[in-house]
């Protein structure tokens, strides 16, 4: 059945609801090239202006998921789970919860992405581990999930190829933040990856794509609604990003902090969010009766050392040096340190989290374009948190500087990103809501 692209564009331009057939024709057209870029761009703008119903968004998500390869995990025994974050700074939860959840008996078959802009990417962090490869074919990926209980690899080139085309167009047409397009982009990749249970971490605050609780909740509710309509089990947490989640920002540094959490040496917000997300996975997968019981199970896997062992097993299965789990000194180290100290006494009243991420990017920890080469050793260690009392001269942060780092630019931006005032700010909840 031939459908004229102009008819689809015109229908949506005047606020009509596109049929499943029309949406599938649109997705097929952008993949095979029968839809011109300018036609696809026109439809994206019409969608951005007039929105989409849940039925349209589900149809778009499923069509994008089926636009290329889909991963069939039915021959891997047990419940398969995944987690997705909308992106933040110092957010290393995947490296913590994946081995811990696997140690509790739920298979974690995770395909991740690279960092772009001020948000870090799980694949980049993993590649800071000497020898580790994030590339595996489908059969090897599934075999690792069977044997180890978990794997984290890069998405294949043919996984939801329609999303790659649409995202590139959204990026240059001012339609990146259109809610139905965000939802279909994220969920199409998750559905194509074949897991039964998916838990979403939707960030909110100064270091998040959605900078207000209202926007974040709307996104979370729509993703869970559409995800559940697809027949999978979805939940979402709304988590604070008004300061970096962990204290370490940068690829090797974040691996080090994840290992410290798994080894039981580090407490704090990063551990809290990782365990809460992991507990929702265990509850949704039927491995725990409640979120509270799930957290207790994960804590026990830290205490027993099983979580750290599974992380080592995963590293080894992907060609990496598992000795890093015992000796983080084997990770890449930046050659220089630069300290940022408080220029007055008071309280840390505000952090501009996205600017902290941008400062790490100036050091070489992040990329502006996908082709940019990272320095996996550089980054920032935060020595103060929101609400902390500080004296003049106290250490606020330490920059780990490499040979190619913009040290001065990063230092000045980091300095501007931390506000010190006379009154301690009211504490905000770390986990601001749950959407089931």
d(CA 61, CA 189): 9
Run of H or E residues at 260: helix 251-262
Mean pLDDT of 215-242: 95
Give residue 252's pLDDT: 97
Give residue 158's pLDDT: 82
Q: Assign 433 a pLDDT band (cuts: 50, 70, 90).
A: very high
Give residue 287's pLDDT: 98
Residues 6+ apart with CB under 8 A from 292: 279
- In this predicted model, what pLDDT tens digit does every residue of 67-121 receive, in sequence order? 998 999 999 999 999 999 988 899 999 999 999 999 999 999 998 877 656 666 8
304, pLDDT greater than 70: yes
CATH architecture, range 5-51 = Up-down Bundle (1.20)
**DSSP-based three-state secondary structure for 409:** helix
The burial of 2, by beta-carbon neighbours within 10 Å (0-12 exposed, 13-18 middle, 19 or more buried), is given as exposed
Give residue 370's pLDDT: 66
- What is the torsional sign of CA 151, 152, 157, 161? positive
Share of the chain above pLDDT 90, in %: 86
- What are the respective helix, strand and coil percentages of the chain, to the nearest 5? 45, 15, 35
Place of tokens 């074949």: 194
What would the two tokens of residue 274 be? Answer: 């990782």
Q: Assign 368 a pLDDT band (cuts: 50, 70, 90).
A: confident
Give residue 116's pLDDT: 58
Give residue 117's pLDDT: 60
Q: Bigger pLDDT: 120 or 225? A: 225
CATH architecture, range 333-421 = Alpha-Beta Complex (3.90)
Run of H or E residues at 420: strand 418-421
348, pLDDT greater than 70: yes
* Domain at 80-161+169-325, CATH from 3.40.50.720, 3.30.565.60, 3.40.1030.10, 3.40.50.300: 3.40.1030.10
Active site residues: 84, 163, 170, 185, 189
b/e burial code for range 177-215 (CB count within 10 A of at least 16 → b): ebbbbbbbbbbbbbbbbbbbbbbbbbbbbbbbbbbeeeb
63, pLDDT greater than 90: yes
- In this predicted model, what pLDDT tens digit does every residue of 168-221 receive, in sequence order? 898 789 888 899 999 999 999 999 999 999 999 999 988 887 778 898 999 999
3, pLDDT greater than 90: no
Share of the chain above pLDDT 70, in %: 98
d(CA 51, CA 69): 28
Residues 6+ apart with CB under 8 A from 310: 99, 100, 102, 103, 148, 149, 150
- In this predicted model, what pLDDT tens digit does every residue of 392-411 receive, in sequence order? 999 999 999 999 999 999 99
DSSP 116: B
157, pLDDT greater than 80: no
- In this predicted model, what pLDDT tens digit does every residue of 283-303 receive, in sequence order? 999 999 999 999 999 999 999
Mean pLDDT of 336-361: 97
d(CA 246, CA 57): 34
148, pLDDT greater than 70: yes
- Could you report how far apart the first and last alpha carbons of the chain are, in Å? 39
Provide the residue count of the chain.
436
Helices (H) then strands (E): counts for the chain: 16, 13
Domains of the chain, residue spans: 5-51, 80-161+169-325, 333-421
Give residue 1's pLDDT: 58
Question: What pTM did the predictor assign?
Answer: 0.93
Residue 261 and residue 270 in contact, taking contact as beta carbons nearer than 8 Å? yes
């Amino acid at each position: 059945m031939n459908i004229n692209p102009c008819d689809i564009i015109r229908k949506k331009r005047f606020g009509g609801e596109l049929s499943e057939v029309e949406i599938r024709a649109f997705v097929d057209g952008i993949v095979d090239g029968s839809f011109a870029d300018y036609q696809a761009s026109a439809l994206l703008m019409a969608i951005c202006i007039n929105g989409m119903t849940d039925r349209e968004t589900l149809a778009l998500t499923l069509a994008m998921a089926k636009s290329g390869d889909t991963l069939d995990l039915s021959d891997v025994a047990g419940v398969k789970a995944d987690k997705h974050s909308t992106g933040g700074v110092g957010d290393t939860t995947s490296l913590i919860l994946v081995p811990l959840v696997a140690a509790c008996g739920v298979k974690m078959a995770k395909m991740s992405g690279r960092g772009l802009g001020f948000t870090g990417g799980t694949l980049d962090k993993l590649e800071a581990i000497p020898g580790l490869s994030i590339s595996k074919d489908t059969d090897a990926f599934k075999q690792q999930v069977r044997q180890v209980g978990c794997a984290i690899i890069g998405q294949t080139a043919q996984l939801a190829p329609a999303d790659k085309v649409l995202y590139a167009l959204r990026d240059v047409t001012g339609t990146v933040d259109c809610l139905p397009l965000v939802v279909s982009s994220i969920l199409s990749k998750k559905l194509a990856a074949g897991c039964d249970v998916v838990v979403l971490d939707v960030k909110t605050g100064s270091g998040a794509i959605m900078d207000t609780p209202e926007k974040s909740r709307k996104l979370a509710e729509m993703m869970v609604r559409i995800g559940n309509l697809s027949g999978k089990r979805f939940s979402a947490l709304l988590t604070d990003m008004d300061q970096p989640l962990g204290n370490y920002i940068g690829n090797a540094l974040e691996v080090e902090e994840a290992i410290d959490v798994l080894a039981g040496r580090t407490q704090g917000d990063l551990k809290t969010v990782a365990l809460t997300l992991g507990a929702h996975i265990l509850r949704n997968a039927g491995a725990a009766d409640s979120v509270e019981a799930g957290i207790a199970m994960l804590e026990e896997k830290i205490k027993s050392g099983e979580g750290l062992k599974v992380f080592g097993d995963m590293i080894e299965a992907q060609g990496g040096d598992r000795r890093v789990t015992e000796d983080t000194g084997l990770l890449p180290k930046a050659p220089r340190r630069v300290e940022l100290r408080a220029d007055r006494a008071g309280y840390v009243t505000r952090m501009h989290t996205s600017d902290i991420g941008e400062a790490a990017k100036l050091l070489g920890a992040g990329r502006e374009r996908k082709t940019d080469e990272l320095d996996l050793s550089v980054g920032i260690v935060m020595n103060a948190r929101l609400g902390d009392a500080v004296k003049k001269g106290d250490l606020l942060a330490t920059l780990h500087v490499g040979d190619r780092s913009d040290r001065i630019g990063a230092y000045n931006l980091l300095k501007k990103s931390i506000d010190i005032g006379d009154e301690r700010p009211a504490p905000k909840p770390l986990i601001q809501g749950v959407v089931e």
